[in-house]
Amino acid sequence: MAVGYYKLKSAEKFRFTLHAANHEIILSSQSYESLAAAEAGIASVQKNGPLAGSFEKKTSSANQPYFVLKAGNGQIIGTSEMYSSEAGRDNGIASVRANSPTTDMKPA
């Protein structure tokens, strides 16, 4: 069975993305000041991503559905892309729930 993976990128700050097995980005992180903080963010996605209650469904000012993934303390740890439909957003949530526990890392 194919599995998702994370990519950790660094420039001046650190960011990570969660990818589905088809290589599509399904969640993007905020910027982190350190590698250790970004790694802690990935661990938080691995812990909270499988939990249905960790997701907040939203709609952008352009009326596009998207979602955020929140940690137990309510802090946003990842944001989805903008979707063209609520069904697409809900499929994105299901994909994050299925792929977030992975420990696979690929180079950015």
pLDDT tens column, 47-96: 999 999 999 999 999 999 999 999 999 999 999 999 999 999 999 999 99
pLDDT of residue 3: 86
Instruction: Give which of 17, 12, 14, 83 is closest to 4, Cα–Cα.
Output: 17
Given CA atoms 83, 85, 91, 97 in this order, what sign does their dihedral have?
A: positive
- pLDDT band for 2, please (50, 70, 90 cuts): low
Cα–Cα distance for residue pair 12/91, rounded to 1 Å: 33
Report the chain's mean pLDDT, rounded to a whole number.
Answer: 95
Structural domain total, the chain: 1
- Residue 27, pLDDT above cutoff 70: yes
CATH number at residue 39: 2.30.29.80
Is residue 90 domain-resident?
yes
Q: Which pLDDT score is estimated for 47? A: 97
Instruction: Answer for the pair 30, 45: CB distance below 8 angstroms, yes or no.
Output: no
- 107: in domain: no
1 has pLDDT over 60 = no
Domain limits for position 32: 5-102
